[in-house]
Structure 1
């Protein structure tokens, strides 16, 4: 809609925006499916949320193997801390 109205593209979401969207998705999944199934179901989505970030493989692997929702959120905080200061979109 923005492009059609203005002819310009919006800036891509920041790393913080992407991780916060993933965090909200995780919380919704936990509320809907419960802690075990919610965490496991989210594993398929992290690659999309983190796509294009350099050297993110280790953090993504940790997200995809963690079972505790609080630890998953802590790893998400690490992603923000690692990439938010760098000018990575």
Structure 2
């Protein structure tokens, strides 16, 4: 980037910084949401909640299926396939 370009785009620096931070947050959230250990914990939590009577069988199955879909890289909510 040249000196003139740098000076002319200087007012956009805060915007570029915010965009960079947002991208970093998005990447971290994606890593955490698709971490097999976290997904396995969600499956176990759903089973325990069902056993305690906090959720019904349909809710347990839905939660577990969502976690399994994430583990295998599938997303049934999108409708395309």
Normalising by the residue count of structure 2, what TM-score does the alignment of the two structures yield? 0.41
Structure having the larger proportion of residues in helix: 2
Normalising by the residue count of structure 1, what TM-score does the alignment of the two structures yield? 0.38
